[in-house]
Amino acid sequence: MLRFVRNWLLWVLVAGLCLQLFFVGRIALMAWVNPESTSFMRSEAWRRMTDAPSTQAPAATQRPWMQRWVDADQISVHLKRAIIASEDDGFASHTGVDWPAIEAAWQRNQRRAQQAEATGKPAKVAGGSTITQQLAKNLLLSGERQLGRKAQELVLAFLLEALLSKQRILEIYLNSVEWGNGVFGAEAAAQRYFGVSARQLTPAQAARLAVMLPAPKFFEKRPDSAYLNRRTSTILARMNSAVLP
């Protein structure tokens, strides 16, 4: 029995090591090769194909899938600044994980959980993920909220930072992040919401797109949201101080 357990643990260890080596190879290749899709994109494509007509519009009436890769120099600097100001103001300096931000998010979540328990309302969970962590999750992992998945996300974030430049990480992120139902990447978002290319985005348009990111499908349906307008003004004011890598 002891031998069986030892062998089983050895196989688990070997399998885990092989998985990490696979991730290393995938990420290293991205220094030169643009990823055609991400794990999140593939799961969304599958969802669109399999959702029942009672909960989702038939495929023929769904919004078309919008995604087009553009190089970093074809994306407005205003959008890069807005994304950093809104999502990860320490992006240029951290090593993939912003530990103070994670600690602050944990403390906020604790307070919100206590408030929710007192009021009986569901708690809104605050995130402390960096741009690198978000890319790691969307690129290679599932969207499930599990401790093991979160641990793998941290490992992948460090690998991304070790194997790719900050500029490349931001380029891949901006070309793969979701901006609505079937809308992925800066070029698709700029065309979908403003009818311009990603290179032509104004500061105000860029700020608005950045604010949508935590909940793009929600804000896609609520373009006149008071929060969206208010938060856009805040990010617009912060953009000039955002540090680009």
Is pTM, for the whole model, over 0.95? no
State yes or no: pLDDT of 147 exceeds 80. no
- Strand, coil or helix: what is 88? coil
Name which residue leads in pLDDT, 88 or 1.
Answer: 88
- Segment 25-36 shows an average pLDDT of 93
Q: Quick one: pLDDT at residue 158?
A: 94
CA 97 → CA 10, 91, 135, 215, distances in Å?
30, 9, 12, 21
Question: What percentage of the chain carries pLDDT values higher than 70?
Answer: 79
Q: Quick one: pLDDT at residue 122?
A: 40
Residue 125: pLDDT band (50, 70, 90) is very low
Inter-helix orientation angle 166-176/186-194, to 10°: 40
State yes or no: pLDDT of 146 exceeds 90. no
Dihedral angle at the C-alpha atoms of 217, 221, 225, 231, nearest 10 degrees? 30
